[in-house]
Structures are given as C-alpha cells and as structure tokens.
Amino acid sequence: MKAKLALKKIVVIGPESTGKSALCGYLADYYNTLWCPEFAREYLLENGTAYTIDDLITIAKGQLDEVQKHIAALQSQMDQTGIVKPLIIDTDMYVMKVWAEYVFGTCPTFILDEINKQDFDLYLLCKPDIPWVKDELREYPDEKPRQELFQIYKDILINQQTPWVEISGGFEERNQKAVAAIDDLLAY
C-alpha cells in the first residue's frame, strides 16, 4: 500500500477587508492548487445578515465541512499525480471564535472544541493596512475595530503552536510574503 503524500494546509485569517480572499485566489493560482473559500460569505448572502450565535455554529459546521471536502479533493489529486500541493483555506475556527466573542461576548463550546482539533501547517495573518472596501456583508469600516480585531488574531496566533506570518503592505508585497512563507514550509 502506497503512503499518502503529506498535504500542507495553510489558513489565511485576519479582520474583514484585509485582502484574505484575494490572497487565497492568488496563492491557489500560483501553486496550481485548491483553495477553500469562507463559508460564512455564502451562508450570509443566502440567509441574510441578521445572524444569531446559533447561525455562527451553523457557519462553523459549514466551514469545517468545506475544509474536509477540499482536503479530500486535493489529497485525491496528489495521490494521482504524486505532487505535493498546499491547500489554501480562507478562515478557520479561530475566526469563528473571534467573531462570536466580538459580536456576542461569548463563544459556543462547539467552536472551542473544534479549535482543539485543528491541524494546520501555517497561518497567514492579514494586517488591516490596506483600505477597507464596502460590500453587503462587511460590518467594521472604522479603523479602531479593524485594529482591535487584528490584535486579537495576533494574540491568538502568538499563543498557539502552529507557525504564522504577518502579511502586510500592498497586494504585491502581500503576495510575495505569503509565497515566501509557503515556499519555506514546502521546503521541509
């Protein structure tokens, strides 16, 4: 029986409107790989923006399901080709925790339990140093909450074991920093 190739899972997190989805798309193209979009966007566009904490649990479950589907699909590709590729993931349970605590002042046990099960290889933390762009789902156009949320994410990453890199600057600089971090990961 042939051993499975070691899939590398890279998660992109940070406050809203920090270029996470654009970075994920760029990285997926650059590495000719899959990326798992943020499930919350699809859910909120379909169900509306008047969400509850129960909706966050549903969103968390949807995100976990999507990640597992993308892991299975990429693992299948790698098994067929013999080429190791990174899976790029837009959002994880840390994002769900921050969202729940920031909006509702508490985090459901389900999300906290899932954080303990996470097994990722690298985090890319997007800094809010690019202009905020309005869309129908974004809630925090002011600089103060963007900086607060960034610091919350940074504190979480500092206090966990998975390597992480801060992604800042213009879009090209962000892309270059992310590629350098992933290339370092893949070199091992």
* Residue 1: per-residue pLDDT: 47
46: domain range?
A: 8-186
Average pLDDT (45-69) is 96
Q: Listing from the earlier edge strand, what are the strands of the sheet with 122-126?
A: 35-36, 86-90, 8-13, 122-126, 164-167
Q: What domain count does the chain have?
A: 1
* Residue 37: per-residue pLDDT: 96
Residue 99 in any domain: the answer is: yes
Give the CATH number of the domain where residue 77 resides.
Answer: 3.40.50.300
Residue 3 in any domain: the answer is: no
Model pLDDT for residues 91-132, shown as the tens digit of each residue: 999 999 999 999 999 999 999 999 999 999 999 999 999 887
Higher pLDDT, 83 or 2: 83
d(CA 74, CA 77): 5
Residue 1 in any domain: the answer is: no
Model pLDDT for residues 7-35, shown as the tens digit of each residue: 999 999 999 889 999 999 999 999 999 99
- The chain-wide mean pLDDT, for the chain, equals 93
Residue 157 in any domain: the answer is: yes
Residue 2 in any domain: the answer is: no
